[in-house]
Amino acid sequence: MMTPLEHLSRSGRLDKFFIDGEWREPRGTAKGVVVNPATEEVVTRFPLGNGGDVDAAVSAARRAFATWSRTKPEYRAGLLDRLQALLEARSELLAQCLTLEMGAAIGYARTAQVPLAIAHVKVARDVLTAFPFVEQRGRTAVTHEPVGVCALITPWNWPLYQITAKVAPALAAGCTVILKPSELSPLDALLFAEAIEEAGFPAGVFNLVNGDGPCVGGGLASHADVDMISITGSTRAGIAVAQAAAPTVKRIAQELGGKSPNVILPDADLDRAVSLGIAAALRNLGQSCSAPTRMIVPRVRLSEIESIAQRTADEIVVGDPLSEATTHGAIANRAQFDRIQTMIGVGVSEGAKLLTGGLGRPDGLDVGLYVKPTIFSDVRTGMRIAQEEVFGPVLCIIPYDTVDEAVTIANDTIYGLGAHVQGKDLDVAKYVASRIRAGQVHLNYPAWDPHAPFGGFKQSGNGREYGLEGMLEYLEVKSILGYF
């Protein structure tokens, strides 16, 4: 089997953009680099788009919208079916790609990053086929129509997953799109565009322009012919996009930062609650906006919880992402590696109790962006490590004395994306969940549900992704009185 780079190089698509149904040469000469986080070596260069590329992609999407927006749902569903099948056929190639460009352990890429991404395509197709685009209210018809041309900006931490979470429902709704993936993980987007092309989507319906945030991202956000922009990224990036988009009054959907709590109630099964909580916080090396990195625990059971946490952390295997034995690979990029090291140092200087991990690379890993999974205990909610998003494998254990205090601590953040609650008494867990200001709450580590809407309160953003609500983001509501 060819590697992702061999595949893209031989196809000639590594140095092109996908615009108006064809692979085009970029208008400019600027280049970005892909760095393998496991070796810190530059593995390839790729073009960065400019304003001309943005204009070409937006024009193509605008032309295509007139026809695509009028297609029957059954037609769009058939294309999504084909896209799903083609992504499944490419699943190993996609997994290898994610390991190369963002350092994900190959086992995690195969079992989470890729299949969960493909699930978003299936869900969009299923929502589309069941959705009533025209509803009757007396003699009035309430119709749902596609927003228009949508610019989609996706991050480097769950690159393929966030592409499908945006592109699939947008296309299902009848919108046309321009995708700008992160310049730090651009290769999987090229493989995705290949699948779009092979699936047979009409020219201009899907367009891909690689580039940086200020030029391509900012250009799309401010473009007068873009009707909506959806961004997943940092709160800082979301603010910049919203400011650029404001003069054209386009719709904005933002899935931004988080500092999610995990409230362990006094009656919880500690072995399960703590061990699975650490796994949830450190999945994808903590590079998840909804990672529950604040474990809020009963003070009277703190020492027992610390023992379980240390034992669980000892089972983590950090190393070569291509090794089947590795559970956690390398941090995705140098800037994030440095940020994590800085914040671990902050935790130590603030006086938090370092249970495990700490500064520097794990023993025996002298090259590569590897980080020690780090757990701090006896953290106070006002500490920087309890307030700022680290976006790495760093967990804070924060003790509480009463359940009311636990809820207060859970809400003591500018963010409100995800949350977890653990407890044997489900009625109490539900009550606590109802008091947490977050867009999605997990009770007792349930199975992932791709139909469950996902999005934030407060500075975690606005709008929702996944399932029915994910498609509704890309639809306008029109009332036609006297229709019936």
Catalytically annotated residue among 101, 183, 194, 255: 255
* CB proximity list for 40: less than 8 A, separation 6 or greater: 334, 367, 368, 369
- The runs of H, that is alpha helices, within 314-353 are 334-349
Instruction: Tell me the two tokens of residue 116.
Output: 């969960």
Question: Which residues does residue 19 pair with via DSSP β-bridges, in sequence order?
Answer: 22
Backbone angles phi, psi at 176, to 5 degrees: -105, 155
Residue-by-residue DSSP string for 354-416: EEE--SSPPTT--SSS----EEEES--TTSHHHHS---SSEEEEEEESSHHHHHHHHT-SSEE
* Residue 396 is a catalytic residue: no
* CB proximity list for 363: less than 8 A, separation 6 or greater: none
Angle between helices 73-89 and 159-173 (to 10 degrees): 160
Q: Which helix (H) or strand (E) holds 298?
A: strand 294-298
CB 229 within 8 A of CB 150: yes
Residue-by-residue DSSP string for 198-212: HHTPPTTSEEE----
Residue 3 DSSP class: -
* Residue 289 is a catalytic residue: yes
* 353-361 contacts, C-beta under 8 A, 24 or more apart: 353/377, 353/378, 353/379, 355/306, 355/309, 355/310, 355/313, 355/397, 356/309, 356/310, 356/313, 356/314, 357/313, 357/393, 357/394
Instruction: Tell me the two tokens of residue 221.
Output: 């956000």
Catalytically annotated residue among 97, 175, 289, 396: 289
Burial status of residue 447 (CB atoms within 10 A of its CB: 0-12, 13-18, 19 or more): exposed
List active site positions. Answer: 255, 289
